[in-house]
Amino acid sequence: MKQSTLLKVASTSILKNKLRTMLTMLGIVIGVGAVIVMVAVGNGAQLQIKNQISSLGTNLIIVMPGSGTPGGVNQGAGSYNRLTVADADQLKREGTLFAGVSPVVSARVQAIGPQGNWRTSVNGVSTDYLAIRNWSPSSGAFFDDMDVASGRKVAVIGATVAKNLFPGSDPVGAQIQLGKVPFTIVGVMAAKGQNAGGMDQDDVILVPYTTAQNRLSGNVRIGQILVSTQSADEMAAAQTEVTQIMREAHRLQGADDDFTVRNQTEITEAMSGTTRVMSALLAAIASISLLVGGIGIMNIMLVSVTERTREIGIRMAIGARGSDVLTQFLVESVVMSLIGGFIGLAAGFGGAALLGRLTGWATSTPVSAVAIAVGFSAAVGVFFGFYPARKAAGLNPIQALRYE
């Protein structure tokens, strides 16, 4: 039997009972639609995490205190602080793969402006901070090396701080009080948004690290050191170099590291791995609908074989082979599955877009998910349609003609 004839016969049979056909395809539609929505949400979450981590900086390496093992007990990152500005200076002097190095001196203060006050974080950094974080002022300018060397009381504020302390006005040149120390605002940073942890990156004030250490924190130890490389390919080698220089600076010799080095890739992989697992779990749950839809197709096709037993007998009596009958019923099953799959795709894309609009979640559907969904729906048609088709092809023509 020609393929065109098979498709025509299958289409006629499918359209003969439209309501039953629609109900048969409903399971496939729901299954494919649910898979597309779940994959879109999961993939969108991964992209959002990557973008948020990228906003932390360019090819970023973070040196944090901790991971010493006093008494044989590992204390973990951040537990034992021996980081100093001298460590950052040594990294900058001896590093061969670093594009920038900046100590970070952190303090939590009450910022007081002419129109109110706002509790925020103050980070004392060097001028390399701009290149490391891939960040720039939207108005005014960043402080320079002379400001750092002299410990001048100048500040660059984030967009959130500017919005709360200087609503509707340009704060450049204005005075701000951090704790009990007056500072002059020299710039406002461009809005950066939330990071991967949900923290507002614009709720910050940046000052020279020398000023922060002498005027605000009063602590010799620093919270972290930020390092960046020229390219992502140098990240692994640069991380090794950071470790070697830090071990030499702390004279560790055979002792364990008393610091922790993390890079952007590790952070991205850790967070993306979690979302991948969740996406796979959600997609697996949604795929159950496809299984249910396939069982529905098999049941309806078995009913169809029973209803059309006499028709099958007539076709065999006039020369149709068993393979022709088998192919006909398989085509009907696959056509229903594919139509349901394409309707499910449209429903899935629409559902993902609607979900993103209502919740604000990022959604993104990869091309591979579309191909898998369509291919899987066709496979469901073949798998669950084969038994009814084989049953139809195995009918005895004489018995089929006598069937009432």
Task: Assess whether pLDDT exceeds 90 at residue 171.
Answer: yes
pLDDT of residue 401: 57
- Indicate the DSSP class of residue 136: -
SS3 27: helix
Concatenated DSSP letters of 217-260: I--SS-SEEEEEESSGGGHHHHHHHHHHHHHHHTT-TTSPPSEE
**End-to-end CA distance of the chain, in Å?**
27
Tokens in use for 404? Answer: 């009432």
Q: Indicate the pTM of the whole model.
A: 0.59
Q: Which residues contact 377 (CB under 8 A, 6 or more apart)?
A: 28, 31, 32, 290, 337, 338, 340, 341, 344
- Distance set, CA 3 to CA 256, 297, 322, 324 (Å): 72, 22, 16, 10
Q: How high is the mean pLDDT of the chain?
A: 80
pLDDT of residue 2: 58
| Tens-digit pLDDT profile for residues 245-276 | 999 998 888 788 889 898 766 555 655 566 66
Q: Which residues contact 106 (CB under 8 A, 6 or more apart)?
A: 121, 122, 123, 124, 217, 222, 223
User: CA 135 to CA 230: how far, in whole Å?
Assistant: 16
Task: Assess whether pLDDT exceeds 90 at residue 28.
Answer: no
pLDDT of residue 33: 83
Min mean pLDDT across 102-111, 117-126, 196-205, 206-215 is at 196-205
Mean pLDDT of 378-383: 76
Dihedral sign for Cα atoms in the order 59, 78, 223, 220: negative
Output 79 or 276, whichever has higher pLDDT. 276
SS3 179: coil
Q: How confident is the model at residue 183 (pLDDT cuts 50, 70, 90)?
A: very high
C-beta separation of 13 from 332 below 8 A: yes
pLDDT of residue 74: 47
Tokens in use for 53? Answer: 């981590």
Tokens in use for 200? Answer: 């507002």
Q: How confident is the model at residue 119 (pLDDT cuts 50, 70, 90)?
A: very high
pLDDT of residue 233: 81
pLDDT of residue 146: 95
Task: Assess whether pLDDT exceeds 50 at residue 77.
Answer: no
Amino acid (one-letter) located at 242: V
- Residue corresponding to tokens 């302390």: 165
Q: Which of 209, 15, 247, 191 is nearest to 128 (CA)?
A: 209
- Range among 194-198, 309-313, 346-350 rated most confident: 346-350
Tokens in use for 125? Answer: 């950094």
Runs of H (alpha helix) within 17-80: 18-54
pLDDT of residue 6: 63
Output 195 or 34, whichever has higher pLDDT. 34
User: CA 392 to CA 128: how far, in whole Å?
Assistant: 76
User: CA 158 to CA 196: how far, in whole Å?
Assistant: 18
Which helix (DSSP H) or strand (DSSP E) does residue 261 occupy?
strand 259-263
| Tens-digit pLDDT profile for residues 36-73 | 887 787 777 767 666 665 555 558 889 998 764 444 44
Q: How confident is the model at residue 282 (pLDDT cuts 50, 70, 90)?
A: low
Task: Assess whether pLDDT exceeds 80 at residue 189.
Answer: yes
